[in-house]
Amino acid sequence: MDAKSLLKEHVSKIVSLTDEQFEYFFSHFKTETYKKGQTVISEGQNVDKEYFVISGCLKSFYVNDEVKMYILQFAMPTWWASDYAALYNKTKATINVDCISDVEILSLSNDDREKLCREIHEVEHFFRWRTNRGYVASQKRLLSFMNNDTKTRYEELLALYPALYNAVPKHLIAAYLGVSRETLSRLYNASKPH
């Protein structure tokens, strides 16, 4: 499916926009393509856009002083990604976003989002809905982190993103789960049929 249709279908699930409204809405997005491994947002820079994934897979992640990486999100088609803390507060990025595969994404600037939200009530409703979902998902993941062991979280992750299993290297899955790649490897091989 092309970018415009994908976005339209995604938005239509939540709010009804007239064709003119959607055209206007869509006119604020810009198509961008990246190759596997390229960087979309990197730590320290200004962030003024968020991204809607059309094809491929992004990851957003934090890297600490000891160069350990923690993945906040894998963004598959119809998912949104950015450094929202930096975007909303107009501060420098503290997280990175890059491409796990070749990707096509639509970018929307913070100013344009806010303008669209002001101009079209339905658009504001859509973005409120979107953040609500993100908030609930984030709380759920936090709880799972506190409550469940690594194996359970690994199974949860595969249930949430079944496509990931073959799409991304295992050390990235470990970085999402917050464990070392060695631990994930042992875990994974322990439950294999022998």
Partner DNA sequence: TAACGAATGTGATCTACATCACGTAATCAA
Partner DNA sequence: TTGATTACGTGATGTAGATCACATTCGTTA
Binding site for DNA (CB under 7 A): 66, 68, 149-151, 169-171, 178-183, 185-189
| Residue partners of 119: CB distance under 8 A and separation at least 6 | none
Q: Long-range pairs for 115-118 at CB < 8 Å and ≥24 separation?
A: 115/28, 116/25, 116/28
Residues contacting its own copies: total by CB under 8 A:
32
The nearest distance, CB 194 to DNA, in angstroms, is 10
Complete DSSP assignment for 74-93? EE-TT-EES-HHHHHHT-B-
Query: Which two structure tokens, joined as six digits, stand for 36?
Result: 């596997």
Query: Does residue 117 touch its own copies according to CB under 8 A?
Result: yes
The nearest distance, CB 136 to DNA, in angstroms, is 24
- Nearer residue to its own copies within complex by CB, 62 or 161: 62
- Nearer residue to DNA within complex by CB, 82 or 96: 96
Query: Does residue 35 touch its own copies according to CB under 8 A?
Result: no
Residue selected from 68, 90, 170, 186 as contacting its own copies according to rule CB under 8 A: 68
What is the amino acid identity at position 154?
A: Y
| CB distance 177 to 184 below 8 Å | yes
Binding at 142: pick from DNA, its own copies, none (beta carbon under 5-8 Å per type): its own copies
Measured at the CA of 46, the angle between CA 40 and CA 49, to 5 degrees, comes to 55
- What is the C-alpha to C-alpha distance for residues 121 and 109, in angstroms, rounded to an integer? 18
Question: Where do contacts with its own copies occur on this chain (CB under 8 A)?
Answer: 62, 64, 68, 70, 72, 84-85, 88-89, 117-118, 121, 124-125, 127-128, 131-136, 138-143, 145-147, 178
